[in-house]
Amino acid sequence: KQEVTQIPAALSVPEGENLVLNCSFTDSAIYNLQWFRQDPGKGLTSLLLIQSSQREQTSGRLNASLDKSSGRSTLYIAASQPGDSATYLCAALGGKLIFGQGTELSVKP
Amino acid sequence: EAQVTQNPRYLITVTGKKLTVTCSQNMNHEYMSWYRQDPGLGLRQIYYSMNVEVTDKGDVPEGYKVSRKEKRNFPLILESPSPNQTSLYFCASSFNTNNYGYTFGSGTRLTVV
């Protein structure tokens, strides 16, 4: 049974820092991995989708990597801003979407 | 604009009063799914549909029903809501189950008193 874990559960950083959010999954037989952003009480916004054949994807200040063999994905946020404050969720897709519990990020001005 | 639309956004109801949460997508996606999100439990799948007239149970289907009579619509039905169904609900869609990303609706916050 696929399990997805995100570390840390919460993170607080000063504005301008580069940061890494971690996601690990137990079953490497995934088709893709998707990173989402969720603002409090709001919906999920897709940030990046990494296909199983890819190693990374980039969008603006965001870069996501995928290492299937080790069961890990990371989301790198460059030059963080207060507007980046949100909960970040990773989800592994291998037949169905399995979510991690999320990392709550706070970027202080 | 490509999107998944859920209605209503907020709903307060009483125990036992049947309700329906609607979900519609305009992307011609074959796959649709419902999730509930609860503190400490994360997002859990309730039901999913691979295509029209094809639905199946997810991880927490008890107390819920769904239908998929048209490709674009996938309503969630609570025949007799109970307080333990108080939650934040999300509808999602994708072209298929594995090769494409998922698009989520904005969520429906349901309170059952």
Q: What is the pLDDT of residues B62-104, one digit of tens each?
A: 999 999 999 999 999 999 999 999 999 999 999 977 778 899 9
Cβ pair B102:A46 closer than 8 A: yes
Cβ pair A97:B98 closer than 8 A: no
Q: How far apart are CA A33 and CA B65, in angstroms?
A: 28
**Distances from the Cα of A16 to the Cα of A48, B18, B107, angstroms:** 21, 50, 31
Q: How far apart are CA A43 and CA B107, in angstroms?
A: 5
- Lookup result for tokens 């870069």: A63
Note the pLDDT of residue B98: 73
A99 has pLDDT over 80? yes
Q: Which helix (H) or strand (E) holds B23?
A: strand B19-25
Q: How far apart are CA A98 and CA A85, in angstroms?
A: 23
B34 has pLDDT over 80? yes
Q: What is the mean pLDDT of chain A?
A: 93
- What is residue A26's three-state secondary structure? coil
List all residues of chain B from 58 to 77 with a beta carbon under 8 Å from chain A. Answer: 58
Residue A49's DSSP bridge partners are A34
Cβ pair A91:B104 closer than 8 A: no
Note the pLDDT of residue B76: 98
Note the pLDDT of residue A1: 84
End-to-end CA separation in angstroms for chain A: 41
Q: How far apart are CA A54 and CA A68, in angstroms?
A: 10
Q: What is the mean pLDDT of chain B?
A: 94
A31 has pLDDT over 90? no
Encoded tokens for A98 = 């399995």
pLDDT bracket for residue B35 (50, 70, 90): very high
Q: How far apart are CA B45 and CA B57, in angstroms?
A: 8
Choose from B41, B57, B98, B106 for mutation: most chain A CBs within 10 A: B98
| B39 cis-preceded (ω within 30 degrees of 0) | no
Q: How far apart are CA A46 and CA A60, in angstroms?
A: 14
A53 has pLDDT over 80? yes
CB contacts of A45 in chain B (<8 Å) are 104
Could you tell me if A101 lies within 8 Å of chain B, comparing CB atoms? yes
Cβ pair B102:A34 closer than 8 A: yes
Q: Are strands B19-25 and A32-38 parallel, antiparallel or unpaired?
A: unpaired
Could you tell me if B48 lies within 8 Å of chain A, comparing CB atoms? yes
Q: Between A28 and B6, where is the model more confident? A: B6
A52 has pLDDT over 90? no
A55-89 residue pLDDT tens:
999 999 999 999 999 999 999 999 999 999 999 99
B19 has pLDDT over 90? yes
Note the pLDDT of residue B15: 97
Note the pLDDT of residue B96: 79
Could you tell me if A40 lies within 8 Å of chain B, comparing CB atoms? no
Could you tell me if A71 lies within 8 Å of chain B, comparing CB atoms? no
